[in-house]
Amino acid sequence: MYVSVMTLTPDMLCFALHSAAHAVHAAHAPLLQPLGLTYPQYLVLTSLQARDGQSVSELGAELRLESNTLTPMLKRMQADGWVARRRDTADERLVRISLTAEGRELAARAAGVPRAFAERTGLTIDQIADLRDVLAVLRDRLKPAR
């Protein structure tokens, strides 16, 4: 029996994931706009706040962003005074990214974003953790981290 793809679209897992990703970005916009941050910049700030001084490749692997996406963003963040980029002293092929004082202050101002986003979902903390874990398993099965 043939069923049109158009009638299946809303029922497809890929569509649910795609539309949920868009909703996540849209829900973050009003939380991040007052800080002058985009969603990807927020992810970089959060990652560096947790582990400052990562190499560009480490940061890209953690955030699952390609270098051609990450590098221009890091250059803009450096121009805004939020991060510093420097060559690794032991291996000059590596570029290390660190938060500046202004970047640390911005990250501290963004500290309430996860709670505000969690409240917008209407989910319990346990439901959020379960959903995150299921999505991480799916992500890792589809495209393993490098």
Is residue 48 in some structural domain?
yes
**What's the predicted TM-score (pTM) here?**
0.85
CA nearest 58: which of 94, 99, 87, 106? Answer: 94
Is residue 141 in some structural domain?
no
Is residue 130 in some structural domain?
no
pLDDT value of residue 9: 75
Query: pLDDT tens across 29-41, in order?
Result: 999 999 999 999 9
Is residue 117 in some structural domain?
no
